[in-house]
Amino acid sequence: MAHHARWTMSQVTALFQKPLLDLLFEAQQTHRQHFDPRQVQVSTLLSIKTGACPEDCKYCPQSARYKTGLEAERLMEVEQVLDSARKAKNAGSTRFCMGAAWKNPHERDMPYLEQMVQGVRAMGLETCMTLGTLTNEQAQRLASAGLDYYNHNLDTSPEFYGNIITTRTYQERLDTLDKVRNAGIKVCSGGIVGLGETVTDRAGLLLQLANLPTPPESVPINMLVKVKGTPLADNEDVDAFDFIRTIAVARIMMPTSYVRLSAGREQMSEQTQAMCFMAGANSIFYGCKLLTTPNPEEDKDLQLFRKLGLNPQQITTEMGDNEHQQQLAGQILNADTDNYYNAAVL
């Protein structure tokens, strides 16, 4: 992907200050230059290892430091993961994302992770994972297994980051993105709106992403899901127009990237989601309910697609991305203990 001239903070700030309708118009024009405006990429996420994470991300119910009622802490068996992937494909998803709540994968985990990637890919689904910090060797091994995308979010601006996370540095996140890129895996990286950040912080996040040597192929923009027990449980709600504005600026700054409506979408009205699509969002996470809905035609997401005249994108043309760890909390599969091996030792 060719990279344009670097963005400056003054340029990004000017975008955020534009009248909203002018901004939406520019974003939609940019979107139509690079994408079919009626196509939306659809992904399904599975939490393959949930809870007991040693990190202190203040938004995340998976952190072992907060009492959120989340107890699961084991890596799923490969066949369990593949069974979920089959169900997702049968229900219309084209990308299967696998997320693990830990700081980084251990050597003992790698063979299982590689088998998951190989098995999902063999079904004709695109694969993505979010596993935390990677070494160069781990990135290469995942690439060799056929991993298409790796998600590792920057979350917020470098300046605000320390208010949210202290157990992993911003540079560590950037280094992991470099390792993933160098291994030949496509990059998915975005952030969260609603952490208590300022508009300047939102601009700073998008500046970091857009000015990477190669911008991420996909950029998930999450709205904070406030979970009881986490330090951010009582944060103020994000104004819908502020969220839509962030989507639009991301589209303008990264015109060839997929911009993803991610965590928090279930709390958004149909009207807000529609304006996000107008602002250039063209990828969604298709909830875990997809795995259990007997009649997908009546699914509320497909109903919204019909109302707006949107079409789920087919696997031959979509690029897609991953979902933020925050969303994993609601997606634990209730499986027998025999279907897991213990990965609680960090």
* Binding site as annotated, residues for [2Fe-2S] cluster: 97, 128, 188, 260
| Residues belonging to the active site | 53, 57, 60, 97, 128, 188, 260
The token pair that represents 99 in the structure block: 């997320």
Above 50 in pLDDT, residue 324? no
CB-based burial, 306-336: b 16+ in 10 Å, e otherwise: eeeebebbebeebbbbbbbbbbbbbbbbeee
pLDDT digits 0-9 by tens, 100-142? 877 788 898 899 999 999 999 999 999 999 888 899 999 999 9
- In this predicted structure, what is the pLDDT of residue 39? 92
pLDDT of residue 53: 65
Q: How confident is the model at residue 4 (pLDDT cuts 50, 70, 90)?
A: low
Q: Which CATH superfamily is domain 12-334 in?
A: Aldolase class I (3.20.20.70)
Most confident of 62-66, 170-174, 241-245: 241-245
Supply 97's token pair: 């994302």
Distances (CA, A) of 274 to 51, 237, 261, 288, 296: 33, 19, 11, 21, 20
Look at 232 and 208; give whichever has higher pLDDT.
208
pLDDT in tens, 274-306: 999 999 999 887 755 433 334 344 478 888 889
Residue numbering of the annotated binding site: 53, 57, 60, 97, 128, 188, 260
Distance CA(125)–CA(297), nearest Å, equals: 21
- What is the predicted pLDDT for the residue at 246? 97
**What residues form the annotated binding site for [4Fe-4S] cluster?**
53, 57, 60
Model pLDDT, residue 69: 56
Residue type present at position 208: Q
pLDDT for 95 beyond 80: yes
Domain residue spans of the chain:
12-334
Could you give the percent of the chain with pLDDT greater than 90? 47
- Cα separation, 260 vs 40, in Å, equals 9
Please give the Cα distance from 91 to 84 (Å, whole number). 11
Q: Is the pLDDT of residue 252 over 90?
A: yes
pTM: 0.82
Which residue's structure tokens are 């009626």? 38
Q: Check whether 175 has a pLDDT greater than 80.
A: yes
